[in-house]
């Protein structure tokens, strides 16, 4: 039996990935686990955080009371949804920790497409 969704993907009628080009999962493969002959589950492969030295930085931000990573990303990177880039630049697995300490300096990466 042909999978109608896969046929649409193969024909280019719908995108092959649900992730946009600026998503942290852009370029990460989607795989399928076959549960039985007629049932499978799709999943996204693990995404590894790049090493900090490979992320070009623009500046630092001094955390103030009430700061949020999405607002910081929106200010410096032009898009609040790029908050994951700020987390990656600081090797943070919990974004809330980045703004939990007033006075902490956090690294701000260059916006996408800028720099080296």
Percent of the chain with pLDDT over 90: 46
* Distance in angstroms (rounded) separating the CA atoms of residues 37 and 70: 43
Q: What is the pLDDT of residues 7-55, one digit of tens each?
A: 777 787 877 778 888 888 888 888 888 888 888 888 888 877 777 778 8
The region that residue 90 occupies, defined by phi over 0 for left and psi between -120 and 50 for alpha, beta otherwise, is alpha
- Residue with token string 């589950």: 41
Domain positions in the chain = 4-44, 52-109
Domain 52-109's class? alpha beta
CA-based torsion, 108, 67, 50, 15: positive or negative: negative
Q: Is the pLDDT of residue 105 over 90?
A: yes
The pLDDT, as a whole number, for residue 113 is: 73
The pLDDT, as a whole number, for residue 11 is: 82
Determine contact, residues 28/16, Cβ cutoff 8 Å. Answer: no
Stretch 68-90: mean pLDDT, rounded?
Answer: 95
Q: Is the pLDDT of residue 59 over 80?
A: yes
Q: What stretch of H or E contains 76? A: helix 69-77
């Amino acid at each position: 039996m042909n999978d109608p969704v896969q046929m649409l993907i193969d024909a280019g009628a719908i995108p092959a990935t649900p992730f946009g080009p600026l998503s942290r999962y852009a370029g990460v493969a989607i795989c399928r686990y076959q549960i039985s002959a007629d049932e499978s589950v799709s999943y996204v492969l693990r995404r590894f955080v790049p090493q900090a030295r490979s992320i070009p930085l623009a500046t630092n931000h001094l955390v103030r009371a009430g700061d949020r990573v999405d607002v910081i990303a929106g200010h410096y990177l032009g898009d609040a949804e790029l908050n994951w880039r700020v987390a990656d630049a600081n090797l943070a697995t919990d974004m809330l920790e980045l703004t939990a300490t007033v006075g902490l300096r956090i690294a701000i990466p260059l916006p996408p497409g800028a720099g080296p």
